[in-house]
Amino acid sequence: MNLTPDPGHVRLALHGGAGDPPPDADGRAQREALRAIAVQAHALLVAGGSALDAVTLAVERLEECPLFNAGVGAVLNRDGRPELDAAVMDGRVRACGAVAGLARVKSPVRLARAILERTPHVFFAGAGAEALARELGLEMVEPDHFITDARRRQLAQARKAGAITLDHDHESAGDRPRDDDAAFGTVGAVARDARGHLAAATSTGGLTNKLPGRVGDSAVIGAGTFADDHSCAVSCTGTGEAFIRAGFGLAVHARLSWCGWDLDRACAEALHAVRRYGGRGGCIAVDRDGQLALPFNARSMYRAWVGADGRVHTASRPQDAD
């Protein structure tokens, strides 16, 4: 990459999770929130800001919005606590940062970014990750900061239904994990900046009623989050276990880099693998030539994007873009 800087190279896509919302949910509020955040991140890119800054900003804003399953409004684990995962990756040299199991760091994606820039490591989990956040001077909050009444109700329902519980009798591994519509809502962003550099970021509260300590694909570099200037930037949402088994981001990268496939075909194949491993969801992706792909195999995926026309579009169902 390293093109001559040109706002015409700029591309952006955001997601606010994929799933099967009730038929009466029109997703208008989510789309408006995605639009406002896309406008802000797009302005940063057009002004010459980096793809890395744009995806970090977009995901931080999505974390602050209670409509999505990340940061404020994240789903709750079996113990009624939020446990937040996030990752960010810079396509220039594949520098990356990832975090898992946070309850006290205000912006998980900002901690991932700080790990990328200020430590010799790439991945931190649990209490050590929170201690690092304090040491790096990031803003800390109480776990209650993230909890909304809607998520408390959702957890109560999930507990009643027994969804995502341990299954001691289940020895065969082929059909795991269970499909759970409450699983969705992860947020993410991918961008291509005016110089042609790529970046991706993802942040999530994971699965409602998940076992404490469970880590999904968002924090797994190469699965739910991946970026390389030579190929593409990808951020996923859905049943994390299946995205990890599919090695989603790296599979798309390999098809582009080594097989000459286009982005649509590569994402479709990876999503097919997710289905084979018992999962559902979607992804947002941008390739080095500026092509966008936003496929999903659930009924809807909240999404916003800016393609070659330079305009912000949003959609939730397969065909309802504006």
> Which is catalytic among the residues 56, 186, 202, 225?
186
Question: In the β-sheet with 225-228, what is the strand arrangement from edge to edge?
Answer: 225-228, 232-238, 281-287, 292-293
Question: Is 22 or 174 the residue whose CB approaches a second copy more closely?
Answer: 174
Q: Kindly tell me which residue out of 8, 48, 213, 310 binds a second copy, with binding defined by CB under 8 A.
A: 213
Contacts with a second copy, 278-317, as mask; x by CB under 8 A: ----------------------------------------
| CB crowding 240-264: b at 16 or more within 10 Å, else e | bbbbbbbbbbbbbbebbeeeebebe
d(Cα 212, Cα 224) in Å, to the nearest integer?
20
Q: Please give the residues from 141 up to 200 whose contact with a second copy meets the rule CB under 8 A.
A: 164, 166-168, 170-171, 173-174, 176-178
- Is 119 a catalytic site residue? no
Question: Is 124 or 184 the residue whose CB approaches a second copy more closely?
Answer: 124
Residue 56's contacts (CB-CB under 8 Å, 6 or more residues apart) are 88, 109, 110, 113, 199, 201
Phi-psi group of 16: left, alpha or beta (phi > 0 → left; psi -120 to 50 → alpha; rest → beta): alpha
Stretch that binds a second copy, among 20-28, 115-123, 149-157, 229-237 (CB under 8 A): 115-123
CB 264, min distance to a second copy, A:
17
CB 133, min distance to a second copy, A:
10
Residue in the block written with tokens 């639009």: 35
CB 83, min distance to a second copy, A:
7
- 13, 6, 12: which is closest to 296 by C-alpha? 13
Paired with 227 in beta bridges are 233
| CB crowding 276-289: b at 16 or more within 10 Å, else e | ebbbbbbbbbbbbe
CB 53, min distance to a second copy, A:
13
Contacts with a second copy, 39-78, as mask; x by CB under 8 A: --------------------------------------x-
d(Cα 66, Cα 75) in Å, to the nearest integer?
10
Question: Is 43 or 127 the residue whose CB approaches a second copy more closely?
Answer: 127
User: If residue 187 lies in a helix (H) or strand (E), which one and from where to where?
Assistant: strand 187-192
Question: Is 53 or 64 the residue whose CB approaches a second copy more closely?
Answer: 53
| Residue 253 interacts with a second copy (CB under 8 A): yes or no | yes
Q: Which residues are catalytic?
A: 186
Residues within the interface to a second copy (CB under 8 A): 77, 83, 90, 93-96, 98, 100-101, 116-132, 135-136, 164, 166-168, 170-171, 173-174, 176-178, 210-216, 220-223, 226, 241, 244-247, 250-251, 253-255, 258-259, 277
